[in-house]
Amino acid sequence: MLVDLSISDFAKKVSTAKPVVPAGGCVIALSGLMGISLLEMSVDSASGHPTGEKYPDFFKDTKILLAKLHAEISSCIEGDAVAYQGVLDAYKLPKDTPAEISERKAKIQAAALSAIEVPLKISGACLAALEPGIAMLPKVKHGVLGDLKIGLLVLKTGVEGSLAAARINLSLLHENTLTEKFNARINEHQVRFDALVAGLK
């Protein structure tokens, strides 16, 4: 499992062209995980501190949410590798006969769906973490404010990178209805992200 690798081993796998995975999507998922982890640390620092006592319900609810998002985005590191490998494998299928061409097209389509769903899952998790993270800015103690801000910046990268990946993978689809459906979901995430980022300025 990629999540069980050391930082050094993970980086080495990313830096080589063969095998192709892990690649961009896995890195974006890991980026989002680190952003969520910094938010979790910011929440944890409020325990036993006056800031935490001032907003007990907020920090309790945020801690539960972030723990859920932590697990969700962790699974996307491996999930993206599996999805991308599925696309690569589908394109390697033979296409010498009409039956093979039809089967190959169906396999590429199925693999493409996963290759779009996983980045959208990453984006959704990062967006869900950004909202309480931004609300946390005036509530945390000064000593972790820098860490919280870095966490938010990393989550922004997670959203931007995952939406870029989803848009790129749209080209793998050959059904207009599916393309329109996923494009609408991508745009929804983008609008939500733009609104959140505007609130940071």
CATH of the domain at 161: 1.20.120.680
Of 49-53, 154-158, 171-175, give the lowest mean pLDDT range: 49-53
In this prediction, residues 72-88 reach a mean pLDDT of 94
Alpha-helical segments (H) within 92-201: 98-136, 145-169, 176-200
pLDDT at 186 over 80: yes
pLDDT at 111: 92
The CA distance from 66 to 124, in Å, is: 13
Contact criterion met (CB below 8 Å) for 39 and 132: yes
Q: Provide the domain limits for residue 32.
A: 2-200
Band (32; pLDDT cuts 50, 70, 90)? very high
pLDDT at 167: 96
pLDDT at 39: 97
Contact criterion met (CB below 8 Å) for 79 and 121: yes
128 vs 174, residue with greater confidence? 128
Q: What is the DSSP string of 49-69?
A: SHHHHHSHHHHHHHHHHHHHH
Band (53; pLDDT cuts 50, 70, 90)? confident
pLDDT at 46 over 90: no
Reduced to 3 states (helix: H, G, I; strand: E, B; else coil), residue 14 is helix
22 vs 65, residue with greater confidence? 65
Contact criterion met (CB below 8 Å) for 87 and 111: yes
- The number of domains in the chain is 1
In this prediction, residues 137-158 reach a mean pLDDT of 94
Sign of the dihedral defined by the CA atoms of residues 73, 6, 155, 179, in that order: negative
Sign of the dihedral defined by the CA atoms of residues 55, 60, 62, 63, in that order: positive
Band (115; pLDDT cuts 50, 70, 90)? very high
Burial of 188 (0-12, 13-18, 19+ CB in 10 A): middle
H or E element in which residue 37 lies: helix 24-45
pLDDT at 142: 87
Contact criterion met (CB below 8 Å) for 28 and 122: yes
pLDDT at 201: 64
